[in-house]
Chains A and B, each alone.
Chain A
Amino acid sequence: MQNNGVVFKGDLEGLIIILHDEFDFSVIKDELKSKFIQAGDFFDDDMIVRIKLGRRHLSLKEKKELIKIFKNQNGISVIEFINNDNRFVDSKEEGDTLLIKRTVRSGQTIRFEGNIVIRGDVNPGAEIVAGGDIVIMGYFRGIGHAGAKGDVDATISAFRLEPAQLRIANCITRAPDIPVNSPDTPEIAFLKEKHIIIDHL
């Protein structure tokens, strides 16, 4: 099977699967399935995958079919569908919350339209951008942006909240220059009258 309508590429953040837009959807689907069979156990736990669609616009039914194919493949989680005009394309289809089971490292960005839950740490230099809430079951030392599309009720909570920078909707706050001893308890950040407040959870 040599169509090359489906191309796998790696980058800093994980895997990119390009579905070329000049191929028929059914061809893409078949090639994707057979590529996954070839790949076998290649995917380790929770490899982050972004799907590039080019100029293709998927119908709801087509999206569901694609998502089903990805769901059946172990070891990967789809972060977002990207087509040429919009990065936040309908990843909501996957459900409202994205669960990541690993440490997010410097230079990596997790971007999701819904909520993001991370079972692991977020290291300095990593960025978490969610349309909804962010919950970190570990140390949060990176940059977090909750309510990225303007939701002022979004919150960022972490088992240990020591971020470089927090953003909620369009408000920003940064860590103080002299590091304060952060309490050894979980904390939550939320927006109150244009100020980001951090409180015990």
Chain B
Amino acid sequence: MGKCIVITSGKGGVGKTTTSANLGTGLAKLGKRVVLIDADIGLRNLDVVLGLENRIVYDIVDVVEGNCRLEQALIKDKRYSSLCLLPAAQTRDKTAVNPDQMKELCEKLKKDFDYIVIDSPAGIEQGFKNAIAGADRALVVTTPEVSAVRDADRIIGMLEAEGLYDPELIINRVRIDMMNRGDMMNIEDMIEILAIKLLGVVPEDEKIVISTNKGEPVVLSDSSQSGEAFWNITRRLEGEEIPLISLEEGMLDRFKRIVGLR
């Protein structure tokens, strides 16, 4: 029986889709059978981030409405045959699917996959409720900004209300230089305020933009900081104990620069 993980945030633009794509791909790289579900009906993007946009024939709404079989709508990834995408519909809205249907869908998929990773839409309305309906575990993505952390807090409360206790936090788009200067809330600050378990920290990285342009998740590249961070998070998801990418690395960088080693 597979596990169903929802990736959510409340606020938009913090990196839910990027996180979903990278964790899904990362889990497949670990040899797991993974299905990624894009729950953002009407504003789908996970297909583009994975570079699968031109293969979509059927989508989640077609499955729910019985226009096709579930297997027909699953799109195989280019790189890993054990990774599939169930795309959102672009021409419909969030009300085209309801939480019960979502739950049923997840139960079905759990039989054939090790992991179901659901990319939730922003907001707290029906799209969010659909996304979390079938989930066993929730990851909350935030950035070190007051607005994003506030929304994360709200989402954590809502997850708990729906029985998803102990959500885990991913802090995205972290700039170590700004944190060191005291111009960005640091990891400890955010953990203290949100009081949930930290799953990982991902540095701000322009490689993310490039990887999205190409449709290739950054977790596949060995040389990027963000890719390494997503890879570590993937392995932590699987239960491995991996220390956080420490801030010392960033400190070291800065020292080098000061002393002129760079």
Q: Which residues of A contact B (CB under 8 A)?
A: 11-13, 106-109, 124-125, 127, 143, 164-165, 172, 174-175, 177
**Interface status of B62 (Cβ within 8 A of chain A):** no
Residues of A within 8 A of B228 (CB): none
Q: Which one of A108, A124, A164 lies within 8 Å of B91 (CB-CB)?
A: A108
Most chain A beta carbons < 10 A, residue from B44, B54, B55: B54
Q: Which of B44, B54, B90, B91 contacts A175 (CB 8 A)?
A: B54
Please name all residues of chain B whose beta carbon is closer than 8 Å to the beta carbon of A172 when the two chains form the complex: 57
Tell which of B53, B57, B90 touches A107, judged by Cβ atoms closer than 8 Å: B90
A127-B91 contact, Cβ under 8 Å, with A12-B42, A107-B42, A177-B78: yes
Measuring CB to CB, which residues of chain B are less than 8 angstroms from any residue of chain A? Answer: 42-44, 51, 53-57, 78, 90-91, 93
Q: Which 7 A-B pairs have the closest CB atoms?
A: A164-B54, A174-B54, A175-B54, A109-B91, A107-B90, A125-B90, A107-B91
The smallest C-beta distance from A173 to any residue of chain B, in angstroms, reads 10
User: Bound state CA distance, A177 and B76, in angstroms?
Assistant: 14
With both beta carbons as reference points, the residue of chain B lying nearest to A107 in the complex is identified as: B90
Q: Across the two chains, which residue of chain B brings its CB closest to A164? A: B54
Task: Give the docked Cα–Cα distance between A177 and B78 (Å).
Answer: 9
B54: chain A residues at CB < 8 Å are 164-165, 174-175, 177
Chain A contacts for B56, CB-based, 8 A: 143, 164-165
Name the distance in Å between B25's Cβ and chain A's nearest Cβ.
16
Given contacts A107-B42, A177-B78, contact A12 B93 (CB under 8 A): yes
The distance in angstroms between the C-alpha atoms of A51 and B78, with both chains bound, is 41
| B93 neighbours in A (Cβ, 8 Å) | 11-12
CB-based contact A124/B53 at 8 Å:
yes
Contact between A13 and B91 (Cβ–Cβ < 8 Å)? yes
**Closest CB in chain B relative to A13 CB, distance in Å:** 7
Inter-chain CA distance A106–B53, complex, in Å, is 12
Per the bound structure, the CA–CA distance linking A172 and B75 in Å amounts to 15
Between-chain CB contacts (< 8 Å), 23 pairs? A11-B93, A12-B42, A12-B91, A107-B42, A107-B43, A107-B90, A107-B91, A109-B91, A124-B53, A125-B44, A125-B53, A125-B90, A127-B91, A143-B56, A164-B54, A164-B56, A165-B55, A165-B56, A165-B57, A172-B57, A175-B54, A177-B51, A177-B78
Which B residues lie within 8 Å of A127 (CB)? Answer: 90-91
